[in-house]
Amino acid sequence: MSVANPAREMPARASIEPIVRLTSPAMGEVNAMILAMAGSNVALIPEIAEHLISSGGKRLRPMLTIASALAHGYSGDAHVKLAASVEFMHTATLLHDDVVDESDLRRGKQSARMIWGNQASVLVGDFLLGQAFKTMVEVGSLEALRILSGASAVIAEGEVWQLSAAKHMTTSEADYLQVIEAKTAALFAAATEVGPVVAGAGPEACARMRDYGLHLGLAFQLLDDVLDYRGTAKALGKNVGDDFREGKITLPVILAHGRGTEAERAFWREAMEKGVNDDAALAEARRLLDRHGALEATIERARGFGNVAFSAAASLPPSEAREALIEVVAFCIERIN
Amino acid sequence: MSVANPAREMPARASIEPIVRLTSPAMGEVNAMILAMAGSNVALIPEIAEHLISSGGKRLRPMLTIASALAHGYSGDAHVKLAASVEFMHTATLLHDDVVDESDLRRGKQSARMIWGNQASVLVGDFLLGQAFKTMVEVGSLEALRILSGASAVIAEGEVWQLSAAKHMTTSEADYLQVIEAKTAALFAAATEVGPVVAGAGPEACARMRDYGLHLGLAFQLLDDVLDYRGTAKALGKNVGDDFREGKITLPVILAHGRGTEAERAFWREAMEKGVNDDAALAEARRLLDRHGALEATIERARGFGNVAFSAAASLPPSEAREALIEVVAFCIERIN
């Protein structure tokens, strides 16, 4: 596939505004559909859904679905249902993740499980997932269904992996990239691939948008990993150091461990495998991450993936949607600053 | 729709053998597919799936899907994928139910959550559900997808309802029937409806098999409710009195409460709403259920639903599959003895 503008570089501007503006009319419909899908005579369901919906996620994934469809000239309304389904798949995952990670905070608010309990979080997550499938079936595209149902299985597989094998300091960088490809990037990839699918674009166009989403998702997750050590609770919407306290081995930790002395490696094993992760340990972890430039190196990896996503978007035919998709890559990477 | 043999009555014989024999070749393929769907490089997934698969459920639901397809002259192999998907939907629900109910036993073995923890049970349940959707998408029938994805949302909705509103002794018999229609009968209905759908039968034939499965599922659940007070741990594969200890208000309790004195009603409120449910309370509950004939009355309700299922099956064109579907109704009801 020829690159439309091979000399072009990642823009210095980095704003989510262009995609917000581009997708605004369709996102109005997506938001209405999300409320309808969360409707139920069982009061607890809209209550919990409303808590999550109103807690102000950026809705990046459904915006990507809408923008990807628009970038391929789509003018129908099936993308709205697919975008709402993608957001519900994501929301269901968040509900279950908070139960698995025993998280207290989500997007700066008490997590659903702290208010309504683990049991309700598990079951309402199941309901949202069921509604997501039901809604995407209504669209009637078997190809979109194949992509989204495939992502659903892969996401859960990645989560189980993280829960089990990936709790050991023997986890390699390659292992870790496979985990985040499954648990984060697969949904980004599905979200952007169904855009051209529903627009009736050919297999090359679909593969390009899959590449775009996959690499954007990888970059996005790596920057989340960095922010967990560098951000503030306010900006994060969760506690700084949550990954550390949960014994989640992320790329910064893998890099610092790999570059560390024997004593430092022993520290990481104690912290991640044996749960020695109090505030003093977190301070020491941050010192070691700094010492080995592990956060910077992680950001570099993220930039690499971001460049792949950028190239995929830059090769789209010129349109407002192309510009929005390009700038969102820069936004995801520059939010570190 | 005319009833083929209106004078016919529910058979005195009540065996699962005819449906086991009828579906045996296809169920061999279903079992192989189930093993393949549970495959993953993440070792924990096949480990937990194997634990559930080998624990000897009857596989009633997938057998019903196969028999329903055969009853409509189906000779392809799409019913195998749908049957395996139905069983995975059921298995995923069991994993999540055990977490929600804090159950120790499932089918006479330690429940997965007791061995691998709640976290793994939640995530592996999500994986199985994802695999179920992926597999049913491969069949390529949008109508079957509509039916099964609809059931998925309804099942979760019923579970949330049971968790919240249905924990109060104000629950009426009608409320309760709605809960079990959602959490149990909807999957039976979907399992039997997709049989004629995949066989290309008309809407009347599909509606008949939906009726069959729905009413069989209602009867099945009501007898489960009775067995929880009357069975033995060995026959049940779970502890007798589990529903009582979990404060699950089932039809026997609703009937005994409705027929009880003021003092007895106070006893039920203490037990179900305030958790006064030790062994002495369980003994008292069983005494009250006996006194008011609540278990017998529940069995009568189940027979009523069973008769509707029987009539639906009896109106099928004559075939070995029809006989198997008829006899499985009697089996589900007579297993109380």
pLDDT, one tens digit per residue, over B236-247 is 566 788 889 888
B197 touches A at CB < 8 Å: no
Rounded percentage of chain B residues whose pLDDT exceeds 90: 71
Contact predicate B198/B144, CB 8 Å:
yes
Cβ B42–A126 below 8 Å, yes or no? no
B226 touches A at CB < 8 Å: no
Q: In the A/B pair of chains, how many CB contacts fall below 8 A? A: 140
According to the model, what pLDDT value does residue A246 have?
A: 85
pLDDT in tens, B182-212: 999 999 999 999 999 999 999 999 999 999 9
Residue of A nearest to B165 (CA): A42
Residues in chain B within 8 Å Cβ distance of A161 = 42
Per the prediction, chain B carries an average pLDDT of 90
According to the model, what pLDDT value does residue B2 have?
A: 42
Cβ A130–B120 below 8 Å, yes or no? no
Burial B238-269 (b: 16+ CB within 10 A, else e): bebbbbbbbbbbbbbbbbbbeebeeebeebbe
Q: Which of residues 76-105 of B touch A (CB under 8 A)?
A: 96, 99-100
Cβ A156–B126 below 8 Å, yes or no? yes
Cβ A160–B122 below 8 Å, yes or no? no
Q: ∠B24-B25-B29 over CA atoms, to 5°?
A: 110
Q: Quick one: tokens of A51?
A: 């808590």
pLDDT in tens, B267-300: 999 999 999 999 999 999 999 999 999 999 999 9
According to the model, what pLDDT value does residue B53 have?
A: 77
Pick from A146, A152, A161: CB nearest B42: A161
Instruction: Kindly report the pTM of this predicted structure.
Output: 0.91
Cβ B153–A159 below 8 Å, yes or no? no
Residues in chain B within 8 Å Cβ distance of A43 = 164-165
Residues in chain B within 8 Å Cβ distance of A99 = 118-119, 122
Model confidence at B1, pLDDT cuts 50, 70, 90, reads very low
B133 touches A at CB < 8 Å: yes
Residues in chain B within 8 Å Cβ distance of A186 = none
Cβ A45–B160 below 8 Å, yes or no? yes
Cβ A137–B153 below 8 Å, yes or no? no
Shortest Cα distance, chain B CAs vs residue A255, angstroms = 23
Collapsing DSSP to helix, strand or coil, A105 comes out as strand
User: Rounded to an integer, what distance in angstroms lies between the CA atom of residue B163 and that of residue A42?
Assistant: 10
Cβ B40–A157 below 8 Å, yes or no? yes
- The per-residue pLDDT string of chain A (337 residues; one tens digit each, 9 = 90 and over) reads 444 444 567 776 788 999 999 999 999 999 999 999 998 888 888 888 888 877 767 899 999 999 999 999 999 999 999 999 999 999 999 899 888 877 776 666 777 777 778 888 899 999 999 999 999 999 999 999 999 999 999 999 999 888 876 678 999 999 999 999 999 999 999 999 999 999 999 999 999 999 999 999 999 999 999 999 987 655 556 678 888 988 889 999 999 999 999 999 999 999 999 999 999 999 999 999 999 999 999 999 999 999 999 999 999 999 999 999 999 999 988 877 6
* Domains in chain B, CATH or no CATH each: 17-334 (1.10.600.10)
Cβ B154–A99 below 8 Å, yes or no? no
According to the model, what pLDDT value does residue B290 have?
A: 96
According to the model, what pLDDT value does residue A337 have?
A: 66
B130 touches A at CB < 8 Å: yes
Is the pLDDT higher at B226 or at A112?
Answer: B226
Q: Which of residues 24-63 of A touch B (CB under 8 A)?
A: 40, 42-45
Cβ A155–B118 below 8 Å, yes or no? no
Cβ A163–B120 below 8 Å, yes or no? yes
